[in-house]
């Protein structure tokens, strides 16, 4: 399998450190708002990449963090008049709701920065001892000029960086590119004890510490959006390699940006389209299909019109699948040469720098094949195509996945059971309990409505 490694700038054969096991870290969201389609892209891309590694027989240990302390979170908390932890807890819960609806499987570990402050302090102390960090009155900084390989990942020279980059202004720093490891707390901000001052960790050090603590000093893949290459990933790498003297992540994978209304989709520019709205209007398969139709390294244009077109294509697929399901045919096809040929094509596409557009096109070719086979009364062919779509490739891409659908059916059944129980309680005039059921369901976005036909529900 070949992947493009940002570190070397080349497409390289992927060989994990430990045979059969892949250790992988993906930078997760800063939790102060709902996620948007720009955030959905790395989530879907690396979810499918992980599924594919598993399909190829690897055991994957995946970590995705939550940045749960940050200026943005503190600002939001001040705006709302609540504490930052409430903001973080709220948007972690909202993240799960969207991630689940988008069919993103949870990683093996989802560490939160605030759970790692003790480890972060210890590692900053070691960096200070080794001479890679220094203290000023505003906090502790990484001494960029002490780390020779600074700029290796982003392919930038220090001189050019000073000229072009947005750097933190702080007159106590020795050098403009030095970045904070520990920030002295301002009055009223959440803070933790440290040997320097009460304060909180900088953004870059948290990912270094959580990845090294969970995956080890060297691990296989570090992934994220290409806007993180500099300074975030460059700084993560500098800290880790200064600390251990070893290669930090061996392969770096970066996805391209999502463009919307002529600009990068981002919260800071305000041009966002939330995942929640996208899912509500167009559904999971449409959004995943749109994301996977683009090679992960290319920029991706987003518009509602485009997403609506993908959703129409998805509906046509469902019509073909339902038509087959209505025939009542169930079975497992033989792994004949046609089967093998499709599997080989699928693997060939994804082994080539994770070319999901080709993999998705194979899926759509199979849908055409299924439709044709049904027209021609070719039962064996139809079974083969159906099986490849829904049981072989669908679960890898998270598209038209039979397992996902089973979960939804089970959820519907559970809601119906609750509605029945509520009805029984009402007949016994136990209104406090029946109201409790209605309120609890409402909290998770399921609204009950009593009609003359009985109780109906809508999902937000
Ligand atoms: Zn990170």
Distance 55 CA to ligand 1 centre (A): 26
Distance 63 CA to ligand 1 centre (A): 11
Distances (CA, A) of 187 to 81, 123, 199: 16, 25, 10
Q: What's the confidence (pLDDT) of residue 168?
A: 64
Distance 207 CA to ligand 1 centre (A): 5
CA angle 352, 13, 49 (to 5 degrees): 55
Distance 48 CA to ligand 1 centre (A): 20
Whether residue 368 is found in the same domain as residue 248: no
Distance 174 CA to ligand 1 centre (A): 25
Distance 20 CA to ligand 1 centre (A): 25
Whether residue 226 is found in the same domain as residue 355: no
Whether residue 383 is found in the same domain as residue 429: no
Distance 229 CA to ligand 1 centre (A): 10
Distances (CA, A) of 241 to 122, 158, 186, 226: 16, 18, 30, 21
Nearest CA to 208 out of 27, 403, 434 is that of 27
Q: Pairing state of beta strands 10-13 and 2-5?
A: antiparallel
Distance 455 CA to ligand 1 centre (A): 46
Domain carrying residue 434: 404-459
Whether residue 130 is found in the same domain as residue 73: yes
Distance 38 CA to ligand 1 centre (A): 16
Q: What's the confidence (pLDDT) of residue 360?
A: 98
| Residue 64 domain flag | yes
Number of domains in the chain: 3
* DSSP 8-state class, residue 194: -
Distance 226 CA to ligand 1 centre (A): 12
Which residues of the chain fall short of a pLDDT of 50?
none
| Residue 287 domain flag | no
Distance 405 CA to ligand 1 centre (A): 33
Q: What's the confidence (pLDDT) of residue 45?
A: 98
Nearest CA to 289 out of 131, 415, 399, 440 is that of 399
Distance 114 CA to ligand 1 centre (A): 14
| Residue 119 domain flag | yes
Q: What's the confidence (pLDDT) of residue 37?
A: 96
Answer for the pair 25, 249: CB distance below 8 angstroms, yes or no: yes
Whether residue 90 is found in the same domain as residue 220: yes
Distance 322 CA to ligand 1 centre (A): 42
Q: What is the 3-state secondary structure (H, E, C) of 341-396?
A: HHHHHHHHHHHECCCHHHHHHHHHHHHHHHHHHHHCCCHHHHHHHHHHHHHHHHHH
């Amino acid at each position: 399998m070949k992947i493009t490694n940002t570190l070397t700038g080349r497409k390289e054969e992927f060989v994990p450190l430990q045979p059969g096991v892949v250790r992988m870290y993906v930078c997760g969201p800063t939790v102060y708002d709902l996620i948007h389609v720009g955030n959905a892209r790395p989530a879907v891309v690396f979810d499918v990449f992980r599924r594919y590694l598993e399909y190829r027989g690897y055991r994957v240990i995946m970590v995705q963090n939550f940045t749960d302390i940050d200026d943005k979170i503190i600002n939001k908390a001040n705006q709302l008049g609540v504490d930052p932890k409430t903001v973080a807890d709220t948007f972690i819960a909202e993240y799960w709701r969207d991630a689940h609806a988008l069919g993103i499987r949870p990683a093996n570990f989802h560490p939160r920065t605030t759970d790692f402050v003790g480890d972060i302090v210890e590692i900053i102390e070691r960096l200070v001892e080794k001479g890679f960090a220094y203290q000023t009155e505003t906090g502790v900084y990484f001494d960029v000029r002490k780390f020779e390989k600074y700029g290796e990942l982003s392919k930038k020279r220090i001189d050019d960086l000073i000229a072009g980059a947005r750097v933190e202004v702080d007159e106590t720093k020795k050098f403009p590119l030095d970045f904070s490891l520990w920030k002295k707390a301002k009055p009223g901000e959440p803070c933790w004890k440290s040997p320097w001052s009460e304060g909180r960790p900088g953004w870059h050090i948290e990912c270094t510490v959580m990845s090294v603590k969970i995956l080890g000093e060297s691990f296989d893949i570090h992934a994220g959006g290409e806007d993180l290459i500099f300074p975030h990933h460059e700084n993560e790498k500098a800290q880790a390699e200064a600390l251990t003297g070893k290669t930090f992540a061996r392969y770096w994978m970066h996805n391209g940006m999502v463009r919307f209304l002529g600009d990068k989709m981002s919260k800071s520019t305000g041009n966002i389209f939330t995942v929640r709205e996208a899912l509500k209007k167009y559904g999971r398969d449409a959004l995943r299909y749109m994301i996977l139709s683009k090679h992960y390294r290319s920029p991706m244009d987003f518009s509602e019109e485009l997403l609506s077109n993908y959703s129409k294509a998805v509906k046509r697929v469902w019509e073909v699948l339902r038509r087959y399901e209505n025939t009542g045919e169930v079975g497992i096809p033989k792994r004949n040469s046609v089967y093998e040929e499709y599997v080989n094509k699928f693997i060939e596409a994804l082994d080539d720098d994770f070319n999901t557009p080709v993999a998705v096109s194979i899926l759509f070719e199979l849908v055409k094949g299924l439709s044709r086979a049904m027209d021609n009364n070719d039962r064996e062919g139809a079974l083969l195509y159906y099986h490849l779509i829904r049981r072989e490739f669908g679960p890898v891409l998270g598209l038209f996945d039979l397992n996902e659908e089973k979960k939804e059916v089970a959820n519907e059944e559970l809601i119906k059971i609750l509605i029945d129980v509520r009805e029984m309680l009402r007949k016994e005039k136990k209104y406090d309990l029946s109201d409790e059921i209605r309120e609890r369901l409402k909290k998770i976005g399921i609204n009950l409505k009593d009609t003359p036909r009985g109780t109906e529900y809508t999902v937000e």
